[in-house]
């Protein structure tokens, strides 16, 4: 039980919040259960690659790499409230009796049922397992598929230079990317419709279509015009990272479906990735419209692509030999040396005033503010003695 001993019922709609009080403890517990005979998940990996040695002590590696996941775990809410008359008429005890047990006057209960005002009924009376607010069940119903082209050029150290360049072109697809979540960065805890998991099939939360990284280290030749201690021992290093954006889902934040979960996606009426790609509005917010009451939106999971990532880190090192056994190394490191702004995913709730806007950097979004995490330019100096 996630909420010993009781869970407040936050989904009782106005004006019936008084039967019972929506913010008072109720006797409807939340349980987390595991599917009987839960199977062991497994993954299959396969690859095919070609390597070729090039002049200048360089090695070119090109490969196809793929992975499939089977019987992967996820949580679903198996006690999702019903929203159609056909579903509600199958409930036992019937929905009118349930409302009366909650303290709703019989006349009101009959009025709601006779006029098919399902959305005005508390969601807890429309659930298949009456007496529980929510039932979170672990299942092994997810499959995943990853395909990629990976290329790598590796130059081994010669003439003072070494570098490694890597490029990946890939696509990852699944029905849920984390055990307890369904959207990018777990923005939705459960599927939009727990009775239609096929609608969750889409790009993985971590799907990055293209990524290029390049790192190098170069030992400068000694500058003969300078004294030996000042003209030798200099090294330059750098790391360049370029990648496309991460996908995410748009939510309405209004709960119009009446399921009581708050995971509604809107209807798709245009191309959300058409722009304008500004800080104030990253994607086309006009491509979405609210789903109708007691329906689910047509927008798919993870159909919008967030901003990409660009970063270049640079370092200057100076090694100075102090006697036979002592070496001093001075380091100057510049993270995001060009101070290029990088942003995390934009606001994805259509009801929010900042819908579509970029408002935070990746490091802050991941609670990892620090060096090399996508924040502003940072410079650090260090001195190391080796003996």
Model confidence over 82-134: pLDDT tens digits?
999 999 999 999 999 999 998 999 999 999 999 999 989 998 999 999 988 88
pLDDT, tens only, 304-332: 999 999 999 999 999 998 888 898 999 99
How do strand 25-26 and strand 378-386 relate by DSSP bridges?
unpaired
- pLDDT at residue 161 tops 80: yes
Burial letters 172-203, b for 16+ CB under 10 A, else e: bebbbbbeebbbbbebbbbbbbbeebebbebb
* Closest to 354 in 3D by CA, of 253, 207, 232: 253
Q: Where are the alpha helices (DSSP H) in the chain?
A: 85-88, 95-101, 106-114, 228-231, 362-365
Centroid of chain to Cα 64: 25
Residues near 377 by Cβ (< 8 Å), separated by ≥ 6? 334, 335, 336, 337, 338, 339
Taking residues 222-228, what's their average pLDDT? Answer: 82
Can you tell me the distance from the alpha carbon of 125 to that of 19, in angstroms, rounded to the nearest whole number? 12
**pLDDT tens per residue across span 187-209:** 566 789 999 999 999 999 999 99
Q: How far apart are CA 375 and CA 371, in angstroms?
A: 8
Percent of the chain residues past pLDDT 70, beyond the cut: 88
Strands (E) in 220-339, as ranges, are: 234-243, 247-248, 267-268, 288-289, 304-305, 309-322, 326-335
pLDDT in the model for residue 23 = 40
d(Cα 167, Cα 151) in Å, to the nearest integer? 5
Length of the chain, in residues: 387
Q: What's the pLDDT at 359?
A: 87
Tokens of 86: 């056909």
Confidence of residue 373 (pLDDT cuts 50, 70, 90): low
Sign of CA dihedral 271, 272, 273, 279: positive
Cis peptide before 15 (omega within 30 of 0): yes
Q: Where are the domains of the chain?
A: 54-65+148-177+208-386
């Amino acid at each position: 039980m996630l909420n010993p001993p009781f869970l407040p019922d936050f989904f009782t709609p106005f004006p019936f919040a008084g039967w019972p009080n929506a913010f008072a403890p109720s006797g409807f517990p939340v349980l987390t259960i595991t599917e009987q005979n839960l199977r062991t998940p497994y993954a299959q990996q396969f690859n095919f690659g070609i390597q070729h040695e090039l002049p200048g002590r360089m090695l070119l590696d090109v490969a196809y790499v793929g992975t499939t996941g089977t019987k992967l775990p996820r949580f679903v809410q198996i006690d999702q409230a019903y929203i159609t008359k056909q579903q509600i008429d199958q409930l036992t005890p019937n929905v009118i009796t349930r409302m009366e047990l909650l303290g709703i006057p019989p006349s009101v209960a009959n009025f709601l049922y006779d006029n098919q005002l399902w959305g005005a009924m508390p969601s807890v009376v429309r659930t298949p397992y009456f007496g529980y607010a929510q039932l979170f069940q672990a299942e092994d119903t997810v499959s995943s598929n990853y395909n990629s082209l990976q290329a790598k050029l590796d130059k081994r150290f010669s003439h003072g230079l070494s570098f490694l360049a890597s490029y990946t072109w890939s696509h990852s697809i699944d029905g849920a990317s984390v055990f307890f979540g369904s959207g990018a960065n777990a923005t939705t805890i459960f599927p939009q419709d727990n009775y239609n998991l096929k609608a969750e099939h889409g790009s993985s939360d971590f799907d990055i279509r293209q990524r290029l990284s390049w790192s190098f280290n170069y030992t400068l030749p000694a500058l003969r015009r300078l004294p030996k201690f000042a003209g030798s021992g200099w090294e330059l290093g750098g790391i360049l990272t370029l990648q496309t954006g991460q996908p995410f889902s748009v939510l309405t934040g209004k709960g119009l479906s009446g399921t009581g979960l708050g995971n509604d996606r809107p209807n798709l009426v245009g191309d959300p990735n058409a722009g304008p790609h500004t800080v104030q509005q990253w994607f086309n917010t006009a491509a979405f419209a609210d789903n109708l009451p007691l329906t689910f939106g047509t927008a798919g999971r993870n159909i919008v692509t967030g901003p990409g990532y660009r970063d270049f880190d640079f370092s200057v090192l100076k090694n100075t030999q102090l006697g036979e056994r002592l070496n001093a190394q001075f380091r100057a490191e510049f993270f995001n040396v060009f101070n290029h702004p990088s942003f995390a995913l934009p606001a994805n709730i259509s009801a929010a005033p900042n819908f579509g806007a970029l408002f935070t950097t990746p490091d802050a979004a991941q609670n990892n503010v620090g060096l090399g995490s996508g924040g502003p330019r940072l410079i650090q100096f260090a001195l190391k003695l080796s003996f």
